Amino acid sequence: MKRKTIRSHKDFIVPRDCISARSGLFLLKTKPAKISGDARYGIIVSKRNFKLAVQRNRAKRLLRDWIAYSEDLMNPNLDYIFIAGLAILDADRDFGRAAVKNAFKKITKQYDK
């Protein structure tokens, strides 16, 4: 099943004390889910870091693929916001999938505390 995505600007706003995980490829921030039991994700790829539309589109495609691979690790009570870093363009598929998986595990560990 395909996950729902965050589309509204106000849903991308996260509190300062949010649970987050950093990778060399992206920053992952979380906030309580808008609809409990239904995790969503949003992707931020800024024009400041990715000058060309081709680069922004590739970064989004890569992140969507990596998220779909590890979506069973998403906590249903959290919404996830991924902020892409420039290094994502040079990452291969397996490395990216592992990075997302580790980030989800780190978030779950912090959330359970």
The residue type of 43 is: I
pLDDT of residue 35: 84
Q: Tell me how far apart the alpha carbons of residues 30 and 54 are, in angstroms, rounded to a whole number.
A: 27
Give tens-digit pLDDT for 9-26. 999 999 989 999 999 999
Classify residue 73 by burial, with Cβ atoms within 10 Å: 0-12, 13-18, 19+: middle
pLDDT of residue 54: 98
Average pLDDT on 42-51 reads 96
Say which CATH architecture domain 19-108 belongs to: 2-Layer Sandwich (3.30)
pLDDT of residue 3: 73
pLDDT of residue 1: 59
The CA-atom distances, in angstroms, between 61 and each of 33, 47, 106, 107 are: 23, 16, 23, 22
Domain boundaries, the chain: 19-108
Residue 82: CB atoms within 10 Å: 25
The residue type of 47 is: K
Give tens-digit pLDDT for 55-96. 999 999 999 999 999 999 999 999 999 999 999 999 999 999
Q: C-alpha angle 22/4/74, rounded to 5°?
A: 45
